[in-house]
Structure 1
Amino acid sequence: MGSGSGDRGWAERRPVLFPFLLSLLWPALSEPIRYRIPEEMPQGSVVGNLAKDLGLSVRELPTRKLRVSSEKPYFTVSAERGELLVSSRLDREQICGKKPVCAVEFEAVAENPSDFYHVNVEIEDINDHSPKFMHNSIELQISESTKPEARFILGSAHDADIGTNSLQSYQLSPNDHFLLVNKEKLDGSKYPELVLKMPLDREEQKSYHLTLTALDCGDPPLSSTAQIHILVTDANDNPPVFTQELYRVGLPENVFLGTTVLRVMATDQDEGVNAEITFSFTEASQITQFDLNSTTGEITTRNTLDFEEVKEYSIVLEARDGGGMIAQCTVEIEVLDVNDNNPEMIFQSLTDLILEDAKLGTYIALLKVRDKDSGDNGEVTCKLEGDVPFKLLTSSRNTYKLVTDGVLDREQTPEYNVTITATDRGKPPLSSSTTITLHITDVNDNAPVFQQSAYLVHVPENNPPGASIAQVSASDPDLGPNGHISYAIAASDLEPRALSSYVSVSAQSGVVFAQRAFDHEQLRAFELTLQARDQGSPALSANVSLRVLVGDRNDNAPRVLYPALGPDGSALFDTVPRAAQPGYLVTKVVAVDADSGHNAWLSYHVLQASEPGLFSLGLRTGEVRTARALGERDAARQRLLVAVRDGGKPPLSATATLLLVFADSLQEALPDLSDHPTPSDPQAELQFYLVVALALISVLFLLAVILAVALRLRRSSSPTTWGCFQPGLCTKTRPVVPPIYNEGTLPYSYNLCVAQGGKTEFNFLKCNEQLNSGQDILCDDSSGALFPLCNSSESTSHQQAPPNTDWRFSQAQRPGTSGSQNGDETGTWPNNQFDTEMLQAMILASASEAADGSSTLGGGAGTMGLSARYGPQFTLQHVPDYRQNVYIPGSNATLTNAAGKRDGKAPAGGNGNKKKSGKKEKK
């Protein structure tokens, strides 16, 4: 180091570790980084480039955040260049006192990643203190009998500096009788001794005035002086003598106050007053820890001793006799360390919040431990108490890192109270504990969980729009947005465009609302996929299935398919042979109900009857049978009012009117039907003439086509081809043949013909007689009458072709109504018997409409609009299938349609022998 007292702004940096050793040992750096600087450097002076010595580049400084961790802020680190700077006054004497080596130890902390480095800055002494005497004047009484070479210890000077800057020597002003000897104590301090060179003669000189100068070896050297006043007294030849020049004693620091340390002893060979010895401290003002008995020389403790503050005391005692002669000795008291200090723990860079998904070994805190005791009493070890997912790693001497050592789950343990115990190695050992609370921060690691794996909801139809039909609920154990759940519809088996018009879900509560009134007949069930999603990042979600079953209510009254009213509102009639026996099947009421289950279970009841007891009605089948034979008094025309009720609560019902005529032929039944003529309708007359005109045009067109075909075939065919065109015979066309009925069904069929007589008639034929004879033909005449009835006598030579299979229903096409099948009265499901009867009734009803001009025109060229109604291709594929709605008593199932789906509905037909009652006959 250089020297100089004027300018102290310089500093000499002396890193102890060489750069290449620093780079080699850097990964496992445990030794401190050392610097050496002089004291009293001005603030802001550079001690050294700490970042460079730690191997940190300037670019790393903003992220590493290098700083000094010390209890006393003597130093700081510049954020720009990483230099270690002086931040406060460095007074070596104030910091270290008389310690030969004054070093300030502190820690440098770097973050990202966090690390802990030890720094040792040795403060060198400069000569800033001059030696000072306690007293500027020293008085001595020396007997004239004092022999030469007698020694007198003078008051020593004190210099706060150390080393060469401390007190080094004493000098005495020149004189003839005294010289000065520099003496040194065991602790290294120096004190002066005045030596008598020659005897004194009081008569020559009574006193002497000398100057004592104390010098140090600083650069420049400093000094101070004290005046010595020597008074020559009368002879006291023998000074006191201590039994020992040096007393040494060891004293534990935990002794009680008033404990005797030692007792010094001195003797004086003089007698009388000159032999009376008193003891005293030469520097009594500096002795605060001990008391001295001036008579006995006993030293006792006055205040508590503390090894951590002062480890050794050096005391100079003086023994003075009555003649003023003195003797001195040195007492050195060594304070022995006792394990009286508990270890201390200081947390640095403690992390406030810990993520629950933190990996093993994640840094939590830096811990520094210290113990003021020395030796084994100051050796400290730390450990964690309890079973916690953390552990302590030794970072360097007396420093530890607290890191994670297990899986954290905030939902199970939101916080940990971690207790760290530090124990020293003293006997007995002392320990201290510190508890810190570590809070675990939530991470979105839990998806929402629904309370049920699936939801099934029953909603009755005709519910009010906007009503809640269900509520789903999910839970999420996370906190804040991670646990805030919102609900939405993720998928559905409904049409995506129509989904919003059916249901909606509340995003906050999970309540599912119906947006419309459901109709069981249109929608019986649908399924939603509901999603619960939290607000975490990234968001987690869960799905659940919600199946909604729309329950049926009795909101549809039965609908009568047969018998149906005519287009003009007139009732149709059925004919019954006069010879019908009891149990004869007259007709059958056919009704359907769009509801399901009990709501669609129909029963039939007779409300009114012209002749009670003449007919019986099947409770479940709707079959009307004769209960007895027709009597002579019974009217030929009977009327039944039938009520059809469903099984709902309350039940709904419909009525049907049956007109039954006992007759063996249509001609016989017509007079009964004309009893109540219907007033003519001008609109019906107009429709009739229009139909006749269209029919005439069609017949002319058909005749032209037939004539052309006949001329074409005349060359290659026999005359039998023209059989239908012979005079007196009807022109035969493809016969309209209904299915042949079995025994017990309706007994009449029909023929539609255009006869040459120019008159329209309905001819009812016995099924067992005329169907087999082939007399059902459709004829035309030259008069242009529409569908005249004729009985061809010459058609027996042509056998009728078998009926077209297109007339028959397949099993899938037959309407599954509750009244269209046979059954018993106990409520069991009946068998289907009346499909063909319904077909026959519909054909007759359509034919009647065509006759009075109410039928649809333009059905096809040459057919006068009747092809679509009466042709062989006519089926009941548009008749609704209600079998799936019908409840089977004693079973929880309903019949299903084996043919698949049918959307449209066709008007129900009637039996083949049904006619309009009261309809005026057209000529």
Structure 2
Amino acid sequence: MPERLAEMLLDLWTPLIILWITLPPCIYMAPMNQSQVLMSGSPLEINSLGEEQRILNRSKRGWVWNQMFVLEEFSGPEPILVGRLHTDLDPGSKKIKYILSGDGAGTIFQINDVTGDIHAIKRLDREEKAEYTLTAQAVDWETSKPLEPPSEFIIKVQDINDNAPEFLNGPYHATVPEMSILGTSVTNVTATDADDPVYGNSAKLVYSILEGQPYFSIEPETAIIKTALPNMDREAKEEYLVVIQAKDMGGHSGGLSGTTTLTVTLTDVNDNPPKFAQSLYHFSVPEDVVLGTAIGRVKANDQDIGENAQSSYDIIDGDGTALFEITSDAQAQDGIIRLRKPLDFETKKSYTLKVEAANVHIDPRFSGRGPFKDTATVKIVVEDADEPPVFSSPTYLLEVHENAALNSVIGQVTARDPDITSSPIRFSIDRHTDLERQFNINADDGKITLATPLDRELSVWHNITIIATEIRNHSQISRVPVAIKVLDVNDNAPEFASEYEAFLCENGKPGQVIQTVSAMDKDDPKNGHYFLYSLLPEMVNNPNFTIKKNEDNSLSILAKHNGFNRQKQEVYLLPIIISDSGNPPLSSTSTLTIRVCGCSNDGVVQSCNVEAYVLPIGLSMGALIAILACIILLLVIVVLFVTLRRHKNEPLIIKDDEDVRENIIRYDDEGGGEEDTEAFDIATLQNPDGINGFLPHYRRGLLGGMSQDAV
């Protein structure tokens, strides 16, 4: 194609070039534009007004030529004649030699040094280099001396349409939402042409679509691609291949073209409602399934994708709305039906639910198409299972009196097999809850009996567990708690609440309260305790004391007279009978000890005759003090006497001083009778010669008595 085009251009331009070359160089040239060059041996002249004028001087030595052009990609059997250099100094005697230098001189461009003809010896490419700057000079052939100053000129490579448009960034990809309106912009593409954009139409591009109609269109000049059909549906076709052509020469015949591809993908919008795969679902579930277990799954398909396909599920109607629930699985996009409450095959064997699937994200542009939801029916069949026995009550409360007879029936528990094929039940007591084995149960009818006596005062409550077991299947068992309350009976007599001891002042007054006492009862009557107090029949006419019942259920003991004397009687014992209000009532006798004490004028107890229990009868406190004082005085006298004697006399000659010293100072030794009196002799202390003698009997007895008193 380039060779053919070059031949056509050569046929067109060759006559013009030959005519231009043969024109006399002295012809006046019109003022040149920026693309032309004026070359002369004379400089440019500038007038007084400062205006630049081009003046062509016809001197004998001047030479001129136009800017030269050469067609790119031109090739032929001979070099291409570009132009001719000539000077009017050349008389034709062949004494002038033309020299060419500059860009491509000698390699691309060659000059005939005699005629000045310039030829292009190589094929030129404007896209590689658009112009060449050369220098021409005329010299003497023999001396090589310059005849003219060197002059520059330009050879421009003239463009031809030899480059096709190219899409440098192709192939292209673009997206557009489905259901877009007609004329929605998709993208734009750009092609480039290496030809000269300012010369002719070689680089003027026009765009068109070769493949992709009738879905898309393109603007010829801007290459903006738009939708050509409205409401294209992604669910019908998601991807389109568009072939785009760019053609130069303004799209006219003979121009070059280039193509690229554009892949257009329709993005999803929520324009489709969910749709259940089936209108009726069937599931079955055992009646003993654990709460929260998944019963089954339902799925509503949505032709949209991503979040546009997300659906939420709900149970909107049916007879099992309270027993079942449905949740949405975001990953699988389905609904999971779960059990909320226990099932009972014997009560209801099947349920019907109406479930709904609705889009989560609604596009308001398509809301007018109808509800973006769908419904389906779910039937759930309950299957029978072997269930454990069921007690008639979740707990039992029994009551029994603490005086109940052994083997008496306390109460009864009942249980049944809820299955259609009912199995007999056997009952037993979990002995871990009745370690003392106080109760028994009849294995057939569940009657609980008393095995050991009960005492409410020891334990009010007994908590046991009863086990019910199916006879046909021992693995099916149930347990129920049984609380047994022991009821009170009046089996304990009242008694004093504590150990009381009263003190009576000798100077007390008649009617004075000596002591206030209260009673206690281990029993627990329903209406509370009420005690009765009384004296023994033989003590009713007691001349010393009387009793008075108080409103707070306590008792006060009062003195009947004054002038009690502890010398005459120190302790009084007052038996009191205490009775409860039970049926039958119980009573006991408690004795109050009353001591006579010495008191101050204001009634504060100062001393009581507690020593009467350890002293001889008739010995008063004053006498006891006098005796103790005499004993202490005697001991002091003895110690002083012995001490003075030892300081007054010489030391005694005793074989064993240590023994004598021990015998003298040990007054705290316990007396031993006559042997103690013979332990030493006072005379021996005075007369060493009488060491072997004995004291008279009366003296020994005196010392012995002193030793005893000291002890």
Band the TM-score falls in, shorter-chain normalisation: 0.3 to 0.5
Q: Highest CA radius of gyration, 1 or 2?
A: 2
TM-score relative to the length of structure 2: 0.39
TM-score relative to the length of structure 1: 0.31
